Amino acid sequence: MNRLLGLLFVVILLVSVVSADKQIIIGAIIDKSGDTASFAPGIETTIDLAASDLNDFYKKLNKNITVVIKKEFTNGTSESAATAAEKLVSEGAQLIVGPTTSEELSGCLQVLTREKILSINKTSSVKLAMPE
């Protein structure tokens, strides 16, 4: 799972890079006290590892590209996820990893859609991705 997420980061970020000098801001919505809080340490480790790998990769290519991770923590509710998404967007996030649950995603989906931010989440319902 961790390597898959890391590879997904690489593919998305390589496709999105258009200039030689760039900062890529990735946001993360992580449940620290709700039903999926037990996943938080693994999610944080995976995100940090992916960013480190990407920064090493860009350095080897002599590209002045830096991946920065911004993290926001939730209590597993849709309201806390919406607040986290708003904050990450205001901090310049171009991609958001998370949230973990469908309930959280339903809370921040309006923000993600309005701002045209891609969200990668492995456990939410596919029904949320379908147009109404």
Q: Which residue has better confidence, 30 or 103?
A: 30
- What is the DSSP secondary structure assignment for residue 62, as one 8-state letter? T
pLDDT mean over 12-30: 72
pLDDT one-digit tens code per residue, 41-51 = 999 999 999 99
Distance CA 86, CA 49 (A): 25
Residues 107-123 pLDDT 10s: 998 999 999 998 888 76
Q: Which residues, at least 6 apart from 88, have a Cβ–Cβ distance to it below 8 Å?
A: 27, 28, 29, 70, 72, 96
What is the CB neighbour count within 10 angstroms for residue 60?
8
Name the pTM for this structure. 0.80
Composition of the chain by helix, strand, coil, percent to 5: 55, 20, 25
For 58-88, what is each residue's pLDDT tens digit? 899 888 889 999 999 999 999 999 999 999 9
The answer to whether 99 touches 108, Cβ cutoff 8 Å, is yes
